[in-house]
Amino acid sequence: MNGGEDKARPGAAGQMQPNRGFVENGWFYEEDQQSTRLGIRIDEHLHSEQSRWQKIDVYRSVFHGNILTLDDLVMLTTRDEFVYHEMLTHVPLCAIDDPREVLIIGGGDCGCIREILRHPCVEHVVQCEIDERVTRVSADYFDWVRPVTADSRVELVFDDGVRYIEQNAGRFDLVIVDSTDPIGPAVGLFLADFYTKVAAALREGGVMAAQTEAPFWYPAELARIHKQMRMAFEHVQHYWGTIPTYPSGSWTWAFASNQRRAT
């Protein structure tokens, strides 16, 4: 997830409102604005710090493994993170002919890098994450981070993703937007102006993939994001998967391109 923004969910009126995460009696809870609560039993609080951008914590759970939270909200657990990262990467990569250059905006936990490197045709992966501490902390608690970041094909950039993409027009076969949710500073990563900049950074036939929220909890937000993407891309398709530790357990992603479709 791209650092520096709050993870949040839409309120009853359709506006994005921050979720609330907290620890109580050995359980980590995340409450959203639909009067639901996710609880994960935790066995140890492994790490806590306040970076320039956000609060970073890691917990250990016997069942879920290590859990990364940003601003007290779940970003990933070792038990189910593979679903999020595989869906965000393999779907677009398998639809592109011979993808070689990939950009990840956000993605500080490096799960997307791990999956992208499974494709031998990829020659270069740039990850632009605003909060370096997310990556450094993840390296201490998630075993895939150090091997993938040491790969010669990987370049880590710690900077603002919007600024970076503006400086790299026509360069990438795939841009992955692994962002937090559309509230506060992250709102700009879900608007047509940003998607237009992503489209400009793609080569002919290039694709953007992005996370697009929980379909059953927040259909109005999903529809709004789709409309914004269609202002920048000719083809926008959504697909979904199951992530038990995300709100509602269901999540969606988008495949967007001006030249190709996912199927």
Amino acid in position 95:
A
Amino acid 34: pLDDT: 63
The H or E element that residue 56 is part of is: strand 55-61
pLDDT tens, residue order, the chain (263 aa) = 544 333 444 343 344 566 788 999 999 999 886 678 899 999 999 999 999 999 999 999 999 999 999 999 899 999 999 999 999 999 999 999 999 999 999 999 999 999 999 999 999 999 999 999 999 999 999 999 999 999 999 999 999 999 999 999 999 999 999 987 776 667 788 999 999 999 999 999 999 999 999 998 889 999 999 999 999 999 999 999 999 999 889 999 999 999 988 87
Query: How many CB atoms are closer than 10 A to CB 37?
Result: 11
Exposed, middle or buried by CB within 10 Å (0-12, 13-18, 19+), for 1?
Answer: buried
The DSSP code for 47 is E
- Predicted model pTM: 0.92
Residues 6+ apart with CB under 8 A from 259: 204, 205, 206, 234
CATH classification code of 8-77: 2.30.140.10
- List residues with catalytic annotation: 178
Annotation: CATH topology of 81-257: Rossmann fold (3.40.50)
Contact 9, 20 (CB under 8 A): no
Cα distance between residue 206 and residue 260, in whole Å:
8
Cα distance between residue 27 and residue 142, in whole Å:
21
Residues 6+ apart with CB under 8 A from 120: none
Question: Hey, where are the domains in the chain?
Answer: 8-77, 81-257
Amino acid 8: pLDDT: 45
